[in-house]
Amino acid sequence: MNNFSLLTKQNISIGLIWLFHVSGSIGIIYSDATWFLKATPINLLLSFVLLLINTRLNKKTSFILLLCFVTGMLAEIIGVKFGFLFGNYTYGDALGYKVLGVPLMIGVNWSILVFITGFIAQFFSNSLFLRVFIGVGLMLFLDLVMEPIAPKLDFWTFEGGLASFHNYFGWAIIALPLQWMFHKSSVKIEGPFPFHLYLLQVLFFLILLLKLNTTGL
């Protein structure tokens, strides 16, 4: 009976994201990096589906998910076309199908990040304003970790090499109202899945960054 109790949707979801992220890290570093990078959209899509499975979906929550996706896509399209929000940058091919130069998975990633960081922020404070700013801070920290390795993975490339302060300021401006909407809507996510997904994303990029700085990719 105890064996069956371990096979909950939360445990299975957590096990799957650990499997995909760990195997992806090992594959990129020690095996055929190109093949594993092509699987990045699948990994993102799986993470999104598992997040949905562990979220109490209703009309309000579904609207917030869609809002995060549409807002993220529009902001990135404006960014790519005009360099207005995040600086001058272009997306590579690793993240899959693009709309106006922006991969659809980027919109999905905006939804994922708002939800998992918003969930984690709830544990730090009961204040709405503090939760919003903590959520934004967690999003910016992850972006800070991702930026140095993103060009090597063919995710995106900034003109001049690295992202400037302009990029992080733009992220904060877009993330702030999305975090506010998330917390005002009292989105409910079951279990510790968001903690694991956030931790895995941070570890994934830190490991690849360490590898890049020591022996290269």
Parent domain of 111: 2-214
Contact 157, 88 (CB under 8 A): no
The span from the CA of 49 to the CA of 80, in Å, is: 27
Q: Flag whether pLDDT at 115 surpasses 60.
A: yes
- pTM, entire model: 0.90
Q: Residues 151-168: what's their mean pLDDT?
A: 85
CA 155 to chain centre: 13
Q: Residues 16-22: what's their mean pLDDT?
A: 89
Give pLDDT tens digits for 60-95: 999 999 999 999 999 999 999 988 888 889 999 888
Residues with Cβ within 8 Å of 100's Cβ and at least 6 positions away in sequence, in order, are 77, 80, 81
The span from the CA of 64 to the CA of 151, in Å, is: 30
Q: Flag whether pLDDT at 2 surpasses 60.
A: no
Instruction: Work out the pLDDT band at 51, boundaries 50, 70, 90.
Output: very high
Q: Flag whether pLDDT at 187 surpasses 80.
A: yes
Instruction: Work out the pLDDT band at 164, boundaries 50, 70, 90.
Output: confident
- Number of separate domains in the chain: 1
Q: Flag whether pLDDT at 120 surpasses 70.
A: yes
CA 206 to chain centre: 14
Q: Which two tokens stand for residue 20?
A: 């995909």
Question: For residue 4, what pLDDT is reported?
Answer: 54
